[in-house]
Structure 1
Amino acid sequence: MKKFLSFLWNWIAPIAFGIAVYLAVTTFLVNVVTINGDSMAPNLLDEQKVLVTKTHEAKRGDVIVFDARKEDPRIQAGNKDYVKRVIGLPGDTVEYRDGDLYVNNKKVNESFISSDEQQSGTEASFGSTWSLGTLSSTGMWKQSDQGKTVVPKGAYFVLGDHRSVSNDSRYFGFVSKEHVVGRVIVPFWYSDTVKKNVEKERDHFFATN
């Protein structure tokens, strides 16, 4: 009987340990998310898989995953998570003018997207000049966000890289930190260009000229 119990324990223990490690990693450290849609193209494409690491504080330029069911009042049935880039942090102003994006009156380095997306894509439905104040007065944003001219405490202003098609903060307002799943980490097999555009450019968020 003792031999059987010993055999059983030696067989079960590694499996139980593996399950515990997996649950700990996916719950507290890293998860896998499948991209749904083209709003982050050409950097992240539909149906691609990326790693997502838990984070309590995002930086400008971070690509994050958040629960859109709690943010977008017009979310399509069946959708859940959105993947977008953080542009504005709490207390920031965000403006688009003269073909460029500005945060706190500093020009943003948008080398991670094409010139077409920097301009016509960013203008999209809102014209050649907009700010948080003008966006929040369109009536499209969540009631709690309407009328705000700076990013509120505990929230982010986010945009997709493929802004021509992206449903982002321009349309529904700010994203609460509480609804952020984590920050995207590009797997090692992706191209160096994608890695740079998704992860490294966040360290050079503002233009140098």
Structure 2
Amino acid sequence: MKKLLSFIWNWIVPIALGVVAYLAITTFWVNIVTINGDSMDPNLLDQQKVFVQKTENLKRGDVVVFDARKEDPRIQSGNKDYVKRVIAVAGDTVSYKDGTLYVNNKKVNQSFISSDEQTTGTASSFGSSWDLKSLSSTGLWKQNDRNSTVVPKDSYFVLGDHRSVSNDSRYFGFVSKKHVIGKVHVPFWYSTTVKNNIAKEEQHFFA
């Protein structure tokens, strides 16, 4: 009996506590996600691993992971989650003109991406000037998001950092808060530049 109790205490209990701790962390706080694709290049690269914190307090500039199966009607087979940057939150307007991105008519500080992605990458097939109204009238967006002029309640407008290849809100519309898995944090060994670009503080979001 003594040996059995010793075995339970030394082996079973630590294993059980470890399983409980793991489930608690992954369910209520943080998980590990592998980046799939180049839409956040050069800040996040294909097959890199990042931490994703479950939070409801998202701000402009945050990089998030969301369930793309519930947002992108043309999602490619095998894809599941998208990683993008929050550009605008509920109540915001978004517009782009001649290489400059605006939120609520304020110029966005886009130092986290190259000048090419700020201009031709952001314009893409939508031209040198666009706004939410023109994007949502293309027929590409989800039916409920069409003919919008502001970001609706509990929703976000997101863009990839590598905009010339990114499939983002320009193409499918707003991301619902309930489909966001969490906010991205990069490991400590990533470069200072990448850490600063991913942990973009909202007070530095506008130019």
Please give the range of the TM-score, normalised by the shorter of the 2 chains: over 0.9
- Secondary structure of 1:111's aligned partner: coil
CA positional deviation for 1:201: 4.6
Q: Deviations over 1:24-67 (max 9, x none)?
A: 00111010000000000000000000000011121000000000
Q: Which amino acid aligns with 1:153?
A: K
Q: 1:1-209 counterparts in 2 under 5 A?
A: 1-207=1-207
Indicate conservation of the 8 Å contact 1:112/1:201, yes or no.
Answer: no
- Secondary structure of 1:56's aligned partner: coil
Q: Which amino acid aligns with 1:149?
A: T
CA positional deviation for 1:200: 3.4
In 2, Cα distance between equivalents of 1:112 and 1:97? 19
Q: Which amino acid aligns with 1:190?
A: Y
- Secondary structure of 1:200's aligned partner: coil
Q: Which amino acid aligns with 1:159?
A: L
- Unaligned 5+ runs, structure 2: none
In 1, Cα distance between equivalents of 2:188 and 2:59? 22
Q: Deviations over 1:112-162 (max 9, x none)?
A: 000000000000010000000000000000001001110000100000000
CA positional deviation for 1:203: 3.8
Q: How many residues align?
A: 207
The CA RMSD over aligned residues, in Å, is: 0.9
In 2, Cα distance between equivalents of 1:165 and 1:136? 19
In 2, Cα distance between equivalents of 1:14 and 1:41? 41
Indicate conservation of the 8 Å contact 1:98/1:128, yes or no.
Answer: yes
In 1, Cα distance between equivalents of 2:19 and 2:159? 36
- Secondary structure of 1:77's aligned partner: coil
